[in-house]
Copies of this chain bind each other. A is one copy, B any other.
Amino acid sequence: MALFIVRHEHKADLCPAADPYRGAALLSHLSQPYARRHGMEIRGKAVVQGEHTLYLIIESADEACVRRFMEPLAAAGSLDIHPASTCAGVVAGGGCAAPGLLTDTETVDPETACEDAVEAGLLVHRVHPLNCETSVPELIGGVVVPNARFYVRNHFPIPLLNPATWRLNVGGLVERPQRFNLDDLHHMPSQTLVVTLECAGNGRSLLHPPVEGEQWRLGAVSTAEWTGVPLVEVLDRAGPAGRARTVVLRGADGGDVPGRTAPLRFERSLSLDEARDSDALLAYAMNGEALPRHHGFPLRVVVPGWYAVASVKWLTEIEVIDTDFAGFFQADRYFYEWPREGRTTREPVALQQVRALITEPVADSDIPTGELTVRGVAWSGASPIARVEVSVGLGTWQPARLVGERRRHSWQWWELLTRVDVPGATTVRARATDLAGRTQPEQPVWNRLGYGINPVQEVAFRVR
């Protein structure tokens, strides 16, 4: 893609914007989405006052493309198209007299990605690769979290995949190896599921003694409505061979990891049964929009109920094998390791633990005496939420009201309208129990890598 500065001037009496309908049509023509459909990105636009002159900064494959796009305006006046560079390109290339630098198109600029996250109110943990959590007090109801506010967990730089050349290969022990482009997937049977994704390390910062790894507070969890093709549909087209046992899902993201000499790709496996029975989706849309780049554009796996490490982003390969799979993100990470009776017990990280998250009151806030609303979300990978109980001060556990319909794979809002009548420092706690009877421990259960930390949450506040 190349950058252009476009200058268009017309006579005042020919101004197409003077007619409100032509004006509106022109606005639509010069909009980002319309330009995008013509293979262009509009990077800036403005009209010089009193001079009938429009400037556009456009990214496009070539000048001819820009010229075609500008035809409706050219008809009303002049059109100058100047090849241009970004400021970063000029600096990187050694100044405006130098020949200029090629843009690296393989990963998302970490600066931009980080800026976007900060602008949306996410709490950034790491800039590169980008890791940030959702701001819990900004959850104000509604099951879905807007895409810009959805927590982000990356292990490697964010790959920038070209949707036109991207392919999903399905191979290994299958009868009919498959190769899908994005259009193929769009034209297969679709499914939409509301699913809560949670990072297995969510709440890790609660552990004492602390453990290594991203120090997540409680916001590494969000819910969205995902649309795509059921994984089982894609597997059925390929036809796993009789001895097939495991489905390996491989993303386009990769790099070096500790203890391995060669760089590797992000990959995870599901057993063939899990792949078939988990309602796993190959999602191309999130809350009704194409997947954002940092959430796996153009295609990601969404495995409902599982910690999100299973939901491989930037999916490019599905390989069916007849053995277990011992990739880095299963063999070296993402397992529970508990010290028990002098021995070490290990178990893979799989379904999300049951947990309630308090969104109101906000920690350290001042609340007037009188009515108090305690509110939050609760979820469990194993089964829907059966009940949430709330304790104010050190009072008894009171049942909260579950809000809205119970959904199989998504968090549920709950709320308790109660009173606080005694001024002073106090706390509120919330405890969820799922239909399988699992509930939350009072204290975090320490494990070496810090996964599945789901103690009863306590929020301190003051009554005035």
Residues of A within 8 A of B (CB): 3-5, 10, 12-13, 15-20, 23-24, 26-28, 30-34, 43-52, 54-55, 57, 82-92, 94-98, 100, 114-115, 118-121, 123-127, 135, 138-147, 149, 186-193, 225-228, 284-290, 360, 371-373, 375, 401, 403-404, 413, 415, 417
What are 21 A-B contacts with C-beta separation under 8 Å? A12-B95, A16-B95, A17-B87, A17-B91, A24-B91, A24-B127, A28-B118, A28-B123, A33-B119, A33-B135, A43-B44, A48-B84, A50-B96, A52-B97, A140-B288, A146-B147, A187-B373, A189-B403, A190-B375, A190-B415, A192-B413
Are B86 and A121 within 8 A (Cβ)? no
Choice from B16, B30, B145, B375 contacting A288 with Cβ under 8 Å: B145
Are A18 and B97 within 8 A (Cβ)? yes
Are A91 and B20 within 8 A (Cβ)? yes
Are B96 and A47 within 8 A (Cβ)? yes
A118 CB contacts on chain B under 8 angstroms: 27-28, 30-32
Are B46 and A139 within 8 A (Cβ)? no
What residue of chain B has the Cβ atom nearest to residue A83's Cβ?
B49
CA distance A140 to B91 in the complex (A): 37
Are A28 and B91 within 8 A (Cβ)? no
Report A52 CB to chain B, min CB distance, Å.
5
A135 CB contacts on chain B under 8 angstroms: 33
Are B57 and A55 within 8 A (Cβ)? yes
Are A141 and B52 within 8 A (Cβ)? no
Choice from B10, B45, B286 contacting A44 with Cβ under 8 Å: B45
CA distance A50 to B84 in the complex (A): 8
Choice from B46, B54, B143 contacting A43 with Cβ under 8 Å: B46
The 10 closest A-B pairs by CB, nearest first: A44-B44, A18-B95, A141-B227, A23-B91, A33-B121, A142-B288, A12-B97, A15-B95, A46-B84, A187-B373
* With contact pairs A20-B127, A192-B403, A227-B142 given, residues A51 and B82 touching in the complex (Cβ less than 8 Å): yes
14 more contacts with CB within 8 A, not counting A49-B84, A144-B287, A193-B404, are: A12-B97, A18-B94, A23-B127, A24-B125, A26-B87, A30-B87, A32-B118, A45-B86, A49-B82, A140-B186, A141-B285, A142-B226, A142-B227, A143-B225
CA distance A126 to B28 in the complex (A): 11
* With contact pairs A17-B91, A49-B84, A82-B49 given, residues A33 and B120 touching in the complex (Cβ less than 8 Å): yes
CA distance A52 to B82 in the complex (A): 12
Are B48 and A126 within 8 A (Cβ)? no
CA distance A34 to B111 in the complex (A): 13
Are A287 and B287 within 8 A (Cβ)? yes
Are A91 and B287 within 8 A (Cβ)? no
Report A90 CB to chain B, min CB distance, Å.
5
Choice from B24, B97, B188, B373 contacting A186 with Cβ under 8 Å: B373
Are A23 and B288 within 8 A (Cβ)? no
A142 CB contacts on chain B under 8 angstroms: 192, 225-227, 285-289
CA distance A118 to B433 in the complex (A): 46
CA distance A89 to B46 in the complex (A): 10
CA distance A161 to B359 in the complex (A): 25
Choice from B47, B94, B290 contacting A85 with Cβ under 8 Å: B47
Are B52 and A57 within 8 A (Cβ)? no
A413 CB contacts on chain B under 8 angstroms: 190, 192
What residue of chain B has the Cβ atom nearest to residue A26's Cβ?
B91
A98 CB contacts on chain B under 8 angstroms: 18
Report A394 CB to chain B, min CB distance, Å.
23
CA distance A225 to B288 in the complex (A): 12
What residue of chain B has the Cβ atom nearest to residue A97's Cβ?
B12
Report A365 CB to chain B, min CB distance, Å.
12
A27 CB contacts on chain B under 8 angstroms: 87-88, 91, 114, 118, 124, 127
